[in-house]
Amino acid sequence: MIEHDVLDTGLGDADDDDFDAAVESFDAALPENRYLDRELSWLAFNQRVLELAEDPRIPALERANFLAIFGSNLDEFFMVRVAGLKRRIVTGLAVPTNVGRAPQDLLADVSREAHRLQLRHAEAWRSEVRPALADAGIEILAWSELQDEDRSRLYDFFQAQVFPVLMPLAVDPAHPFPYISGLSLNLAIRVRNARTGRQEFARLKVPPMLPRFVEVSREGERVRYIALEDLIANNLGDLFPGMEIIDHHAFRVTRNEDVVIEEDETENLIQALEAELLRRRFGPPIRLEVAEDMDEVTRELLVDELGISDQEVYRLAAPLDLRGVFQISRIDRPELHYAPHVPTTAVAFQPGDNNERPDIFSVLRHGDVLVQHPYESFATSVQAFLEQAAKDPHVLAIKQTLYRTSGDSPIIEALIDAAESGKQVLALVEVKARFDEAANIVWARKLEKAGVHVVYGLVGLKTHCKLLHVIRDEDGMLRSYSHIGTGNYNPKTSRLYEDFGLFTSNAEVGRDLTRLFNELSGYAIEKKFQRLLVAPLHLRKGLIRLIDDERRNALEGRPSGVRIKVNSMVDEQIIDALYRASQAGVPIEVWVRGICGIKPGVPGLSENIRVRSILGRYLEHSRIFSFVAGGDAQVYIGSADMMHRNLDRRVEALVRVVASDQLAQLDDLFSLAMSDDTSSWWLGSDGEWTRHSTGEEGQPLLDLQDHTMANIQRRRRTRTVR
């Protein structure tokens, strides 16, 4: 592998230095306090998720699902963002944040906001979601609410299915305080020795391999559950015979689980990553969640033994760890879920009159195809494309990037089939994809055993781009067929994440991908691409140039406008370019799912910028970059968010969309998302997000995802009728 500073994907234009100098002079004129803090903006995003859980118009089991998503999101935020911030403070490497705050002050702000949100999260379960489930016949009961016959039945279950796997750990001079694994749910137990009268402490881990909620009874669709920790806590006498149970309380520890690898100092990335994954388990604690009724003696013991501050202790109403509600949210009650949706096959890939699958290569020779998941099927587009390529005797080579994929992935199997049939197959596996590292190592080794050429990208960079490139021999000439996407090659998440993918046989795109894959697997140095914008160097500068072109167009009285859809918008240089364009009168619309550092609507700075966010049954994941360009629209889709890591430390790729019908499709989608008649959250200049979900007379506003679903189904029916 080569060092990332050898990878030069800059624009390479002669006037780069002049352009950079001009940008710096512009930036110097912008006000200092012009960004929103990224960490607090992320917490605001998770609050929007929580607001969905609190919405009584959403089906009850979907509300439970959003509660669990909130908890899972917050866990990752602590394990990565809070852990990283704390590590920088401890090591003395912390610098002021993007809004000029001292890291210690930001940590206090984050802690204060996280405390508020976790209390709101617990209250949403207690007073809103749990009662809504009970009204629908799904009850989550406490032990005190059970009848004697229920307790007797549960005791038998406890003895047979739970007691044998429990492992109480004593804490005394002969037994040091045990290691508490990250995100595990535990009981802190105080007992009194009947013989000596001494009080003792024990820790009991709630077995994670057992269902979090135990069924108490079922009558038709009415079902009652009790939390596993509640069942265990009320049968502790069997675990401590001869001891008096004084008290017991649930607690949970979050640890620093971010992976840090010094790639420059290791010869084997896989071995280094495996070692780091092992170390991850023993990261320092950064959050302690305890039951709100925990006594001070137990709390102080945990704080002292874990070495955390009072600021890092979160007192919450039971139950802790509402990720467990994922189990409840999967209950098969269709009326309590969103209406089922089956992805349709994209019009271009639909079977013909003989009901046979079309030849995808033939389809692409007639023009580009743009597919939107999950409204359009991943299986009959991306997966079918790769499977056809793997079987086609005229296909000579397949090259693909893999960032995250599912454990039983047909994508992996197709690559293996292609290699075993004698094709040249290259898989660029990003083993450093956060929290998927272990799974990716397994699949990388499986691919290697099948004869696939597996590479791990460039030292110092994550390969995040979504690329699939097929080389086919057609009458002695080689032809390229390509797919560039905004989402991972993962059949499971493709049913949950909204993403776009462009299929094309365009020769320029084929040459671009050939050059880019050569960079990623070898030593080629490519400075320019025709239809791609590529990070780490080319992409930021290319986008800033495109934004600046809109600024000049506005000043010259030409049509101008910028539309950007991303997951996160925090890169200061991109934001500043948007501010400069806004000052020149360019209308700018930003559609962001998560973090946003822009302050919209500030007079003299950003009054021409509007920022909206949409959350719903599907996770908005596609990235779109659209520029009016004086009337000759330039529109790109791809893998990159506007974050430092994407623009500086990842290999990303955007591809230009050129077909007029596809440009219209993307434009219509954006117009609908930004419409005042569409349900969304609006960002104010103070960083506050306001939900707009009902009209002036209380009627629900249009749901973008429902509308898109119906529109694509209608498009399919129109094709069928024809």
What's the confidence (pLDDT) of residue 180?
87
Q: Is 287 exposed, middle or buried (0-12, 13-18, 19+ CB in 10 A)?
A: buried
What's the confidence (pLDDT) of residue 484?
97
* E strand intervals along 553-679: 562-566, 588-592, 609-613, 619-620, 623-627, 634-638, 650-651, 653-657
What's the confidence (pLDDT) of residue 264?
39
- Same domain as 558, residue 494: no
For residue 573, is it within any domain?
yes
| 142 close to 233: Cβ distance less than 8 angstroms | no
What's the confidence (pLDDT) of residue 10?
35
The residues assigned a catalytic role are 464
What's the confidence (pLDDT) of residue 627?
98
* Domain end call among 525, 541, 576: 525
Strand order across the beta sheet in which 653-657 lies: 532-534, 653-657, 634-638, 623-627, 562-566, 588-592, 609-613, 680-683, 689-692
State yes or no: pLDDT of 616 exceeds 80. Answer: yes
What's the confidence (pLDDT) of residue 278?
52
Domain that residue 461 falls in: 353-525
644: enclosing H helix or E strand = helix 644-648
Cα separation, 61 vs 44, in Å, equals 23
- Same domain as 587, residue 495: no
State yes or no: pLDDT of 596 exceeds 80. Answer: yes
* Domain end call among 458, 492, 525: 525
- Same domain as 242, residue 158: yes
CATH number at residue 290: 3.30.1840.10
677: enclosing H helix or E strand = none
- Same domain as 583, residue 469: no
| 499 close to 616: Cβ distance less than 8 angstroms | no
Whether cis (ω within 30° of 0) applies to the bond prior to 559 is no
CA distances from 202 to 190, 245, 446 (A): 6, 11, 43
What's the confidence (pLDDT) of residue 85?
85
Instruction: Tell me the pLDDT band of 21, cut-offs 50, 70 and 90.
Output: low
- Same domain as 571, residue 689: yes
Which residues are CB-contacts of 217 (< 8 A; sequence separation ≥ 6)?
A: 150, 153, 223, 224
pTM summary value:
0.90
For residue 6, is it within any domain?
no
For residue 618, is it within any domain?
yes
Instruction: Tell me the pLDDT band of 438, cut-offs 50, 70 and 90.
Output: low
What sign does the dihedral 53-59-64-66 (CA atoms) show? Answer: negative
Per-residue pLDDT, averaged over 325-348, amounts to 95
For residue 10, is it within any domain?
no
Percent of the chain with pLDDT over 70: 87
What's the confidence (pLDDT) of residue 223?
96
Number of domains in the chain: 3
Task: Characterize the bridge pairing of strands 424-429 and 453-455.
Answer: parallel
For residue 26, is it within any domain?
no
- Same domain as 453, residue 385: yes
Strand order across the beta sheet in which 199-205 lies: 169-171, 199-205, 185-193, 243-255, 285-291, 313-316
For residue 17, is it within any domain?
no
User: Nearest-CA neighbor of 149 among 235, 86, 216?
Assistant: 216
Which residues are CB-contacts of 377 (< 8 A; sequence separation ≥ 6)?
A: 343, 344, 345, 346
For residue 19, is it within any domain?
no
* Domain end call among 504, 525, 546: 525
Cα separation, 236 vs 529, in Å, equals 67
CATH number at residue 382: 3.30.870.10
State yes or no: pLDDT of 173 exceeds 80. Answer: no
Give me the residue label for tokens 């086609």.
392
DSSP string for residues in 174-225: TBPPPP--TT-EEEEEEEEETTT--EEEEEEEPPTTS-SEEEEEEETTEEEE
Average pLDDT of the chain, as a whole number: 88
Whether cis (ω within 30° of 0) applies to the bond prior to 208 is no
- Same domain as 197, residue 56: yes
Cα separation, 344 vs 519, in Å, equals 36
- Same domain as 222, residue 325: yes
Cα separation, 179 vs 157, in Å, equals 29
What's the confidence (pLDDT) of residue 722?
44
Task: Characterize the bridge pairing of strands 562-566 and 588-592.
Answer: parallel
What's the confidence (pLDDT) of residue 608?
98
Per-residue 3-state assignment (H helix, E strand, C coil) for 239-295? CCCCEEEEEEEEEEEEECCCCCCCHHHCCCHHHHHHHHHHHHCCCCEEEEEEECCCC
State yes or no: pLDDT of 265 exceeds 50. Answer: no
Which range has the worst mean pLDDT, 83-97, 426-440, 670-684?
A: 426-440
Per-residue pLDDT, averaged over 47-71, amounts to 97
Tokens standing for residue 129: 């979601």
- Same domain as 495, residue 419: yes
**Residues facing 222 on adjacent strands:** 219
Which range has the worst mean pLDDT, 20-24, 486-490, 586-590?
A: 20-24
State yes or no: pLDDT of 266 exceeds 60. Answer: no
- Same domain as 540, residue 416: no
| 81 close to 97: Cβ distance less than 8 angstroms | no
What's the confidence (pLDDT) of residue 67?
97
List pLDDT tens digits, range 200-214.
Answer: 888 999 999 999 999
| 227 close to 322: Cβ distance less than 8 angstroms | no
For residue 145, is it within any domain?
yes
List pLDDT tens digits, range 518-538.
Answer: 888 776 556 678 999 999 878
What's the confidence (pLDDT) of residue 718?
56
Q: Is 698 left (phi over 0), alpha (psi -120 to 50) or beta?
A: left
- Same domain as 178, residue 277: yes
- Same domain as 378, residue 331: no
